[in-house]
Structure 1
């Protein structure tokens, strides 16, 4: 069977979801790399990191019904073979030779953060709202009993970093791994540098100013608890769209002829779809076409989006010849007039 995930978590094959969570929590707290950092033994550090990754992979497989079913039937080799599709009948007689189940091991730190703190680190809303859930407490030592730092202990200064995001990332969501370097103190109070990689899940609909807080992942100073680390979302300018709250604004310049006779506007959305919007009526200056539910996702209301607003900019000719004026008067039914 290869790797024995049940043995890694010290559970039996009939373990319930609740028992599985308890087993993972106990071992993850014991072997988390942050808890096992020592200046005297790099081999111990590597052992802890390896154990932590094994524990995380085991939990990832056994906590997922589909992965667990494949693992129980065909072991680690079957799980990682890419042989199965999500909709396959997993009985031995029904294996498809062309199926496509892919086992993609998740990041151990990501699993740990999601298990203890929810899908994200602490998140507060940006301009106009749009934040996600908030994880409570401080870092893993304080929240889970590692260092037992009491409440009321002063923290070092908070560190803020800008997190530049494209409009596409804020529309579709994305995952980032941010490498940080921070100052920590050893048991003797001597400062040292610790490098870490922090996972950030950018949620669809987040806005400029949204703050993602990693409690006590900042620098440490003598007599103080480590400060917090905050990433502040910043929105990069986009070549096609401007964002207005939950709406997307697209400006299209058309000729006076198009405004009078009609035309079709094509818009490529931030997720690559092509929208075709026919303009069949006479377009007056300042006209705005509104396409419902084609704006930015609303982070607090999953499944809902703002609107796409198409602003029509009519390009008027700078001058007309006498012949053109006459033609226009004839076509539009006008007559030369002398004001009295």
Structure 2
């Protein structure tokens, strides 16, 4: 069967940059990696295909040869020596290091996978801090064999890699070291596997944890719990648990970093005559003195009434935006009083009492003057 075009394999254009190639390879390799698809021959074949494509396209010299001659460039000795291509061990370490654990990808047994958990909090909980009980379905250490994978505790040296944990693989002109497929890089074999975990050293279960969230966290913050991720294969360490915080929308406050914003509705009479109004803060109530002739949109800043930073412990500020509210459900007497009040305005007095409105009208007139032919 003929080989697919390498660019098609990685799903990129022929003009793709080195960074675009790396991102595409990372995405494909994570999707088809054997550790994520145990026993899936098709996924393993796709993984090898995308790895082969990246090995060629990530090397500038080999990529030029491939662009000129296609797959024929590497058949019958045409490829030649080849220059300094990417170190695939380093590539694997970069791509799989945080997912399957351990540095250098194929250089030994991998630790347990890291686990992610999203915790939703109310604003009050995020501001004050909270302790939550969470339940996570994951792989945990097998209790009967204490994670060894052995029924009787006995292990032997792997006959495939002779205890080295690595084997050398050759594909055409490419050669690389990778973890031994028979012992998963441990260099050991288990003659009498545990009946509970079948030699894996870990089983699927639900882990229950008490997680303490510090005060001041915000959406996107992550708390790392070392060693609380998936249990690793026998002889390796577990992964980590990352708890990501998401803060729900609040009925009154909008958060911007360590600052809070809110709207304060006031009546027309309060805005025109001035008044003192009470507003909610995280610590209770506070007073704002509204000066006469206040307009919608005016901001009042209450220093230190925001959120205490989780990093610097310095509090943010609270910004109160004034909203002059139009009265509704008027009584007959209120309507009559407003009509009498409105009658006191003339075209000339409007400029004095409503300067923004007058400026708007003048702007409209000027616009239409300019539009005349």
For this structure pair, what is the TM-score category when the shorter chain's length is used for normalisation? 0.3 to 0.5
TM-score (norm. length: structure 1) = 0.47
Choose 1 or 2 for highest CA Rg.
2
TM-score (norm. length: structure 2) = 0.43
